[in-house]
Structure 1
Amino acid sequence: MSLADIQRITAEKHQSTAGLRTAITIMERWGALREQMARTLRVSSSTLARAKAGNGTITLDNDQLDRVSYVLNIHATLRLVFDNPDNVYGFVKLPNHNAFFNGRKPLDVMAEGSFASLYETFRRIDGLRGAMW
């Protein structure tokens, strides 16, 4: 393994750790329980604890990285759509009567743990932007 490979792997681990820590912070602000975070991000409780504590670097697989990305993008969309922090962080905790959610809270849908649930939640929330772009 070359020095360039080692540097690339190290950089990827640091990015994974930073992304996971940011996703955890966002989900905590959403009021997510540890179990909801673990299922949504498909990581163990011990990985969540290590990331939160800042103990070392964490390696995530592509599925986990995609999940982190969707959480970050949901948060970014909510920040675009809402000016009020109560709405930015409270939206996912409110029952949603959209056809997809059928009265369920977006956070509960994401926490079902399937990638499809997370993706569809992102799509529906991203759709709130409408013609904003």
Structure 2
Amino acid sequence: MAQFGFAERHVPFTVEPTGLDRDRFLPENRRRLSPPALRTFLAIADLWGLNEEERRLVLGYPSRSTYHNWAKQAREHGSFILDADVLTRISAVFGIHQALGVLYASEAEGVAWLRGPHQATVFGGRPPLALVTSGTQDGLMIVRRFLDAARGGLYMAPNAVDAAFTPYGDDELVFT
């Protein structure tokens, strides 16, 4: 059919679209990843000062006995398999931790940012940690994406710590 003087041409689609690599979700891959992922999560949770309830919320709220079994197995380098949802949540925590390491000079400053109120719209004056420990994967991903954007140079509204900051003037910049 011709439209606007151009004939429609059908070009066969020869490249397969890239899809989700399902092999990454095979039990043997999850078995390989689960113990070191949970050990690392526990170390980050210690750094952030998360209590048991908050840790369970981040992990999708497994029962206390399941959580303690996972933690015991991980610390003893045992073998267990976390489901894809839990591994995705842990991956989001890794991304948050990594972004904080890029944005802040010390771990303490990164933790202070997580625990302090934030005026960005997505946080509504609440600490980002409230979203991290909301129990939803969405909460984790919102914080991770926010930090990834900040790390990439997008504007991040100042916190209360920066409220009194005044920009440097030209007379204060000295080149030697």
**TM-score, reference length from structure 2:** 0.63
Is 2:65 the counterpart of 1:46? Answer: yes
Q: Which amino acid aligns with 1:48?
A: Y
The equivalent residue for 1:74 is 96
Aligned length: 125
**For 1:45 and 1:96, how far apart are their aligned partners in 2?**
31
1:9-34 per-position Cα deviation (integer Å, ceiling 9, x unaligned): 55632421110121121022111111
**For 1:10 and 1:57, how far apart are their aligned partners in 2?**
11
Is 2:39 the counterpart of 1:21? Answer: yes
**For 1:95 and 1:58, how far apart are their aligned partners in 2?**
37
1:21-50 per-position Cα deviation (integer Å, ceiling 9, x unaligned): 211210221111111110111133334333
% identity of equivalent residues = 28
| Preserved CA contact (<8 Å) 1:31 1:93 | no
**For 1:22 and 1:90, how far apart are their aligned partners in 2?**
20
The equivalent residue for 1:117 is 139
**For 1:99 and 1:107, how far apart are their aligned partners in 2?**
15
Runs of 4+ with deviation above 4 angstroms: 8-11
Q: Which amino acid aligns with 2:51?
A: L
**For 1:51 and 1:88, how far apart are their aligned partners in 2?**
27
The equivalent residue for 1:5 is none
The equivalent residue for 2:53 is 35
Q: Give the secondary-structure state (helix, strand or coil) at the position aligned to 1:113.
A: coil
Q: Which amino acid aligns with 2:147?
A: I
CA separation of 1:47 and 1:21: change in aligned 2, threshold 3 A: farther
- The alignment's C-alpha RMSD in Å is 2.0
Bigger Cα Rg: 2
**TM-score, reference length from structure 1:** 0.81
2:148 aligned to which of 123, 126, 129:
126
Q: Which has the higher contact order (CA 8 A, sep 6+)?
A: 1
